[in-house]
Structure 1
Amino acid sequence: MRASAPVTHELWEHPAYRSVFRKDALSIGLILPLETHPDSPMPTMRDHAEMAQRAEAMGVAALWMRDIPFYDPSYGDVGQIFEPLVYIASLAAVTKKIALGTTGIVLPMREPHILAKQVNSLDQLTGGRLLLGMSSGDRPSEYPLFGIDFDTRGERFRDAYQTYRTVSEQHFPVFASSRFGKSAGTLDLLPKPPYGRTPTIAVGRAQQSLEWIATNMDAYLGFVPGPANLDQFARDWKEQVAQSMGSDAFKPAAFGGFLYLHRNPDYPFRAIKGGFAIGSRALRRFLEQAREAGVSHVALNPKVTPRPYTEILDELHSEVLPYF
């Protein structure tokens, strides 16, 4: 099986992919939960539907769900608690157009045939609002629960991805996997993706080379680079896409992480664990620099900010979102 992924005309017709990842433009998304809880590993999830509607009305491009199956106190973070694909279905029912994505499904711990059925169903039912971010996972404590060797997660990621793409997109596929079964072409998985395929995004490197990601996936969402590293971040990706797919190829680069939105609007960029601290006006300048470098999307998670989430949204709405 081979799962190379040129960005086809059909994929650019995919509503979420087209709205979130535009060449020479930058969009802004929010990583859930849509509340701050800097001193607790668990959000309350109160008013989450209303906050999603508010984010959509403000012009936020995407809402991103994390995949954390179990609570590990040593990590102290459970994301939005709810299983991401189930939660996407819930949020799709209370919103209209905003893209709904994962950052990212821990693919080595997922059964790819069932994942394909779930993802294709969601993309069909939401009218193309789904973006499938995939990762290899970074919590060794979870892997024994699934009977999987943590050290093989990179190889398992590739195998699961190829199986997922094959059964998702091919009609009556013929394939064989050492981990995920085989088919002689007598069975077909339905439904198929509404736009040929559901866009897949590497969240982090997923234990893969940048070359493999550029060849096989539809976008790359990396960790937050500092202002001095933005140009290199975007250049490395663009050059790898050109080498893997041709000089005219375009696949989007993005980054995401925690946002500590400082009360001083001009507070300069400062790296923190898993993200960065910054003031709102400085954030606008940083994102303008990212856009100029060629970054297409930024996913922000303000959970670490010790301020009410509504206050953060209001400030992003007035100081940042109108410029992108």
Structure 2
Amino acid sequence: MSTPLATLRRGGLSIGVELPLDNDWSPAGDAERQRDGRRPGVPDLEHHAVLARLTDTLGFRALWVRDVPVYDPSFGDAAQVFETFSYLGYLAGVTRDILLGTAAVVLPLREPLLTLKSAATIQELSGGRLLLGVASGDRPVEYPLFGRDFESRGASFREQVALLRDGARGHLPAGLDVLPAARTPTPLFVAGLAQQTPAWIGAHMDGCLAYPGTPDDHARRAGAWRAVAGDKPYVTFFHLDLAADPHEPLQRHRFGARTGRHALIAELAALRAAGVAHIGLHFRRNRRPLDETLAEIASEVLPHFHRGEAAATIAPDAETAA
């Protein structure tokens, strides 16, 4: 059976999707949010299951969810709203092949044994599709709410990574165990440095989750990552607004770009050359219907990178969502 890491890296650069699948940051999406009475950064989740299944059917490689325990109006982003592990359990049941990643679970806010049990549960229920992205967190307001110390989060992060690695066997009294027992180790990806040294991160983590940037940004960052981690995968994200005109040139905006598909292919090729192993596309700025956008990427973009994997097509009467 292929491991999640092998699946992620198959074919060179692989392409996934970051949830939520809503375009509530586009002008039309924001107007709809206001009509619905949703607060800024709270997406429309009416079609989330349909769209998650669609990404799986169309051949995207991974679905990524974020860990946002408490909605903060000043931050203005509720991510996919649902609790991370609960939602991953649901997604494991409504999808078949697509990898399920966290970007990223804030370890110091969580009870370590329950984090281990949650991750092992998702790994078992999904048939071995979990990529566990982890972080130390960067919002001090959350820590007092959970009775955690913000200043010691780096030490807590190291301790929890050790527990995840040994399945808590070195942390429990004799005779006790955490079930389900992992069949294969869950890959750990780190977001940022998590208050650690680059050398520690490179030695103890299986991959890197990097902030969005240009190909030049990623060439520098991936180079620094490989200097301490060797060939372990470097993953990033891209906020995409896919234009209807396939020839529209790329116009960069914060964390991504508006572009037609030809310039998107060129950008993804440049990211691959910069050392990116996987990229998660984020669609909250996207102005077109998401089912239409996903279908175009699957048929016209994925074949350039997911070599040998035929893209699925949507039947005219298939259940889709705008």
* TM-score of Structure 1 vs Structure 2, range by shorter chain: 0.7 to 0.9
Identity percentage of aligned residues: 40
Of 243, 252, 255, the residue aligned with 1:270 is: 252
Given that residues 236 and 278 in structure 2 are in contact (C-alpha distance below 8 angstroms), is that contact kept between their aligned partners in structure 1?
yes
Equivalent-residue separation in structure 2 for 1:158 and 1:201 (angstroms): 13
The alpha carbon displacement at 1:73 in A equals: 0.2
Query: Is it true that 1:261 corresponds to 2:218 in the alignment?
Result: no
Query: Is it true that 1:149 corresponds to 2:149 in the alignment?
Result: yes
Of 283, 287, 290, the residue aligned with 1:302 is: 283
Superposition pairs of residues 57-68 of structure 1, within 5 angstroms: 57-68=57-68
TM-score calculated relative to the size of structure 1: 0.83
Q: Provide the residue aligned with 2:36 in structure 1.
A: none
Superposition pairs of residues 1-324 of structure 1, within 5 angstroms: 14-22=2-10, 25-38=12-25, 39=30, 40-168=40-168, 173-175=169-171, 183-195=172-184, 197-242=185-230, 250-262=231-243, 265=246, 266-268=248-250, 270-272=252-254, 275-279=255-259, 280-324=261-305
Equivalent-residue separation in structure 1 for 2:5 and 2:101 (angstroms): 10
Given that residues 132 and 199 in structure 1 are in contact (C-alpha distance below 8 angstroms), is that contact kept between their aligned partners in structure 2?
yes
TM-score calculated relative to the size of structure 2: 0.84
Residues 271 and 185 of structure 1: CA distance in aligned 2, closer, same or farther (over 3 Å): farther
Equivalent-residue separation in structure 1 for 2:170 and 2:155 (angstroms): 21
Equivalent-residue separation in structure 2 for 1:134 and 1:313 (angstroms): 27
Q: 5+ residue gaps in structure 2?
A: 31-39, 306-322
The alignment partner of 2:152 has SS state of helix
The alpha carbon displacement at 1:184 in A equals: 4.2
Deviation track 1:23-61 (CA, whole Å, cap 9, x = no partner) reads x70101111011211134111211211111111121100
Given that residues 136 and 157 in structure 2 are in contact (C-alpha distance below 8 angstroms), is that contact kept between their aligned partners in structure 1?
yes
Equivalent-residue separation in structure 1 for 2:234 and 2:267 (angstroms): 16
Equivalent-residue separation in structure 2 for 1:264 and 1:277 (angstroms): 14
- Judge which range, 85-94 or 304-313, deviates more: 304-313
Q: Which amino acid aligns with 1:16?
A: P
- May I ask how many residue pairs the two structures share in their alignment? 290
The alignment partner of 1:220 has SS state of strand
RMSD of aligned C-alpha atoms?
Answer: 2.0
Q: 5+ residue gaps in structure 1?
A: 1-12, 176-182, 243-249
The alignment partner of 1:79 has SS state of coil
Equivalent-residue separation in structure 1 for 2:178 and 2:165 (angstroms): 11
Given that residues 131 and 198 in structure 1 are in contact (C-alpha distance below 8 angstroms), is that contact kept between their aligned partners in structure 2?
yes
Residues 14 and 157 of structure 1: CA distance in aligned 2, closer, same or farther (over 3 Å): farther
Question: More strand per residue: 1 or 2?
Answer: 1
Deviation track 1:39-87 (CA, whole Å, cap 9, x = no partner) reads 3411121121111111112110000111111110001110111111111
Given that residues 224 and 276 in structure 1 are in contact (C-alpha distance below 8 angstroms), is that contact kept between their aligned partners in structure 2?
yes
The alignment partner of 1:150 has SS state of coil
Q: Which amino acid aligns with 2:258?
A: I
Given that residues 163 and 170 in structure 2 are in contact (C-alpha distance below 8 angstroms), is that contact kept between their aligned partners in structure 1?
no
- Give the ranges of 4+ consecutive aligned residues of structure 1 lying more than 6 Å apart after TM superposition: none
Deviation track 1:93-151 (CA, whole Å, cap 9, x = no partner) reads 11111111111111110111111111112211211011111112222221111122223
Equivalent-residue separation in structure 2 for 1:194 and 1:72 (angstroms): 38
Given that residues 281 and 319 in structure 1 are in contact (C-alpha distance below 8 angstroms), is that contact kept between their aligned partners in structure 2?
no
